[in-house]
Amino acid sequence: MTQLRKRMMKNMTVRGLAENMMRLYLHSVSGLARYCKRSPERISAQEVQNYLLHLHEERGLTWQICKCTRHWQTTFHHTTLCGLLKKGWSSRQESCL
């Protein structure tokens, strides 16, 4: 398990998320990483938008599911990535301002 995934799991546990919800969050973030072929902390907002369009247009998911996916991505960004960025973990700090 990567350090980033451990951090995400810890944040979800502290927030009191149910096991099934944690799986959905992890699935969402790992799907984005697979689509972009790199780690989530290196993915831009434009790439997230492209991924959501891919889910809707190419995979046929409803916009309701895409909105849930966007929420999970936003939550991951604010609770996991920004917390690490503020501690100097990456150089993409401008995305959390």
In the predicted model, what is the mean pLDDT of residues 68-93? Answer: 67
Query: Do residues 61 and 55 make contact, with C-beta atoms less than 8 angstroms apart?
Result: yes
pLDDT tens digits for 22-48?
898 888 889 999 999 998 888 888 898
* CA distance readout (Å), 86 to 13, 15, 33: 21, 19, 22
**In sequence order, which ranges of the chain are alpha helices (DSSP H)?**
3-14, 19-36, 45-53, 63-76, 82-86
pTM assigned to the model: 0.73
Flag whether pLDDT at 89 surpasses 70. no
Domain ranges of the chain: 3-96
pLDDT at position 87: 52
Flag the least confident range among 4-18, 25-39, 56-70, 76-90: 76-90
Q: Which CATH architecture has domain 3-96?
A: Orthogonal Bundle (1.10)
